[in-house]
Chain A
Amino acid sequence: GENVEQHPSTLSVQEGDSAVIKCTYSDSASNYFPWYKQELGKRPQLIIDIRSNVGEKKDQRIAVTLNKTAKHFSLHITETQPEDSAVYFCAATKYNFNKFYFGSGTKLNVKP
């Protein structure tokens, strides 16, 4: 099966700085990579996703990049704000398959 590794486990940045979270996956057939944000005591929420036919996707201050050859994908948050503080999970899955493989999570702390 798929194995998704996520780093770092914790990340502290100063407000306004950028944050980068990296994930690697093992199954070259995986073709869909969503990112979820989970605030304390709340549900995971989909913030951005990327499919394997695209190398980069942006949505305002967040972006995701995908390197299929190296089998890794990254979440980039620019101009971080205190409300970005949360746990972020990456995930991977493949064509016509409903099981998502989650990374272990990154706790992001944005210091004012």
Chain B
Amino acid sequence: DTEVTQTPKHLVMGMTNKKSLKCEQHMGHRAMYWYKQKAKKPPELMFVYSYEKLSINESVPSRFSPECPNSSLLNLHLHALQPEDSALYLCASSHPGQGEFNYGYTFGSGTRLTVV
């Protein structure tokens, strides 16, 4: 299995809703990431988990709450979002940087989120 699977593919939510995005990989990668991508822009890092521990939080508002229940799963819990949070949310995984080597990401297909 060489894929990162994200669900749902599309999500429309109101500003008072609570929803969760899910990401799963079975490649044995121990680093997992959440990215946000607006149209015609590069992916923007939100969170990094390394060995199931949060290692990077790019000053993301608390209405986004990540969770890494185990080495294969990554969730992003959403609450009280704003319309400007509408974007493509990408999950990625990789082997963590080890020694002198680093490795490219495998991205999931993303969840296209619309906040109304």
Q: Which residues of A contact B (CB under 8 A)?
A: 31-32, 34, 36, 42-46, 49, 51, 87, 89, 93-100, 102-105, 107
Contacts and interface: CB of A to CB of B under 8 A. Distances in A.
Contact of B101 (A36, A46, A51, A105): A51
Given A95-B97, A96-B98, A104 B42 contact: yes
Nearest to B55: A98
Given A43-B90, A44-B43, A105-B40, A96 B106 contact: no
A28 to B, nearest CB: 15
Contacts of B107: 36, 43-45
A98 B108 contact: no
18 contacts: A32-B103, A42-B109, A43-B90, A44-B107, A46-B105, A49-B104, A87-B40, A89-B42, A93-B97, A96-B96, A96-B97, A96-B98, A97-B97, A97-B102, A98-B31, A99-B45, A104-B41, A107-B40
Interface string B19-54: 000000000000101000000111101001010000
A99 B42 CA distance: 14
Contacts of A89: 42-43
Q: How large is the interface on B (under 10, 10 to 19, 20 to 34, 35 or more residues)?
A: 20 to 34
A52 B40 CA distance: 29
Contacts, number: 67
Nearest to B106: A46
Contacts of B48: 98-99
B94 A98 contact: yes
Contacts of B84: none
Given A43-B109, A103-B42, A98 B96 contact: yes
Nearest to B50: A98
A31 B102 CA distance: 8
